[in-house]
Amino acid sequence: MDTLTQEKLEEKFQAKIDADIKIEPNDWMPDTYRKTLIRQISQHAHSEIVGMLPEGNWITRAPSLRRKAVLLAKVQDEAGHGLYLYSATETLGVSREDTIDDLHSGKVKYSSIFNYPTLTWADIGAIGWLVDGAAIMNQVALCRTSYGPYARAMVKICKEESFHQRQGYEIMTTLMNGTEAQREMAQDAMNRFWWPALMMFGPSDGESKHTEQSMRWRIKRHTNDELRQSFVDASVPQAELIGLKIPDPNLKWNEARGHYDFGAIDWEEFWQVVGGNGPCNKERIDARVKAKEEGEWVREAAMAYAKKHKS
Ligand code: 3HC
């Protein structure tokens, strides 16, 4: 293709983005836009599926039938979110098989937060409230992302995330209204999940290698730091309402900014976990590889049935 056509096409593409016209699978798009979407949406899908593991760990140990039913529903929702997002990835011309193999080989990432262990029942409350709360902050913005299938997947996912966040906050509220031991358990979960939840939004804007271009392409509608700040501003009053302490001595309301100031994030820890050295990285990938191997017969049976009954 001669450079003039390429330039013209890129100009027309950017004009559509700037006019907030959704880009659809069959539309022309720069290879770099397609690659960024494949990277982000597939990693988002991996995060949903790997995210089922820490919570799934407590389904058999939920303290009541109601808590078990709610947790089961949430974990099933996450599987659905993963399938939605793998389907959105496939619209960009990559196979689900290859996408999942990239996760298992360690070639691609999933959200760092899921490499932390769930040690007590209160962790399930902290994950629902903080992790899904952070995910909502990020995903509400993604409802306006420039790629059509991704934006549309987000609408359904966000509806379910609010239920996830609500049930997590209810668990934390119940514990904080409980015995001294239950309050301590909830505060311990808060102490272990607060900072990793802030890390979910990615490196600070100055360190983020994709944010500038992703904002230009309106894949991102807010920067990592903007979303992180909104999450802190929303979460502090919720914590205070039920008596939970935020584990950050530098947290302070800044009237002039109209936001909470908060302490420095341990980016060394973040990159260690992203780099595969978190507490549960190996366990998570081993579990996913095992699930794929043990599920081989199901896929074979489904393919054989589909072949036999092809209309
Ligand atoms: N965990 C792991 N890797 C992370 C990360 C995190 N929390 N934050 C950033 N990174 C990686 C990026 O993937 C990128 O690496 P790559 O080039 O190999 O992909 C690198 O760090 C630089 O970060 P950038 O900020 O430049 O990258 P992005 O522009 O992609 O921003 C993001 C990162 C904000 C996570 C963005 O990708 C995004 O918004 N993704 C969609 C939302 C998502 O994936 N959320 C994950 C949680 S899903 C969830 O919680 C499910 C809920 O139901 C529980």
* Residue range 38-76, pLDDT digits in tens: 999 999 999 999 999 999 999 999 999 999 999 999 999
CB distance 123 to 192 below 8 Å: yes
The CA distances from residue 257 to 203, 235, 263, 306, in Å, are: 21, 17, 15, 59
Residues at CB less than 6 angstroms from ligand 1? 39-40, 43-44, 47-48, 51, 78, 81, 109, 111-112, 131-132, 135, 138, 161, 199-203, 208-211, 214, 224, 274
Phi-psi region of 166 (alpha: psi -120 to 50; beta: other; left: phi over 0): alpha
- Looking at residue 4, its pLDDT comes to 58
To test the pocket of ligand 1, the residue of 110, 274, 284 to mutate (highest count of ligand atoms within 8 Å of its CB) is 274
- C-alpha of 105 from chain center: 20
* Euclidean distance between CA atoms 114 and 67, whole angstroms: 21
Phi-psi region of 266 (alpha: psi -120 to 50; beta: other; left: phi over 0): beta
- 3: confidence class by pLDDT, cuts 50, 70, 90: low
- Looking at residue 310, its pLDDT comes to 84
Over range 66-93, report the average pLDDT.
Answer: 97
DSSP H/E element including 100: helix 96-104
Q: Supply the mean pLDDT for the chain.
A: 96
* Euclidean distance between CA atoms 120 and 17, whole angstroms: 46
291: pLDDT strictly greater than 60: yes
What's the predicted TM-score (pTM) here? 0.96
CB distance 116 to 192 below 8 Å: yes
Residue range 190-199, pLDDT digits in tens: 999 999 999 9
Over range 121-141, report the average pLDDT.
Answer: 97
CB distance 93 to 62 below 8 Å: no
CB distance 53 to 284 below 8 Å: yes
* Euclidean distance between CA atoms 181 and 177, whole angstroms: 11
- Going from the Cα of 291 to the center of ligand 1, the distance in angstroms, rounded, reads 24
CB distance 224 to 205 below 8 Å: yes
* Euclidean distance between CA atoms 107 and 90, whole angstroms: 18
Over range 122-142, report the average pLDDT.
Answer: 97
* Euclidean distance between CA atoms 284 and 276, whole angstroms: 10
Q: Maximum Cα–Cα distance for the chain, whole Å? A: 72
CA atoms in the 13 A half-sphere facing the CB of 82: 21
311: pLDDT strictly greater than 90: no
Q: In this structure, which residue's CA is closest to atom 21 in ligand 1?
A: 202
CB distance 140 to 204 below 8 Å: no
To test the pocket of ligand 1, the residue of 36, 47, 144 to mutate (highest count of ligand atoms within 8 Å of its CB) is 47
* Euclidean distance between CA atoms 32 and 17, whole angstroms: 14
Burial of 206 (0-12, 13-18, 19+ CB in 10 A): exposed
How do the residues of the chain divide into helix, strand and coil, expressed in percent and rounded to 5? 70, 5, 30
DSSP for residue 274 = I
- Looking at residue 1, its pLDDT comes to 54
175: pLDDT strictly greater than 70: yes
Over range 253-267, report the average pLDDT.
Answer: 98
- Looking at residue 170, its pLDDT comes to 98
- Going from the Cα of 15 to the center of ligand 1, the distance in angstroms, rounded, reads 27
Q: In this structure, which residue's CA is closest to atom 50 in ligand 1?
A: 135
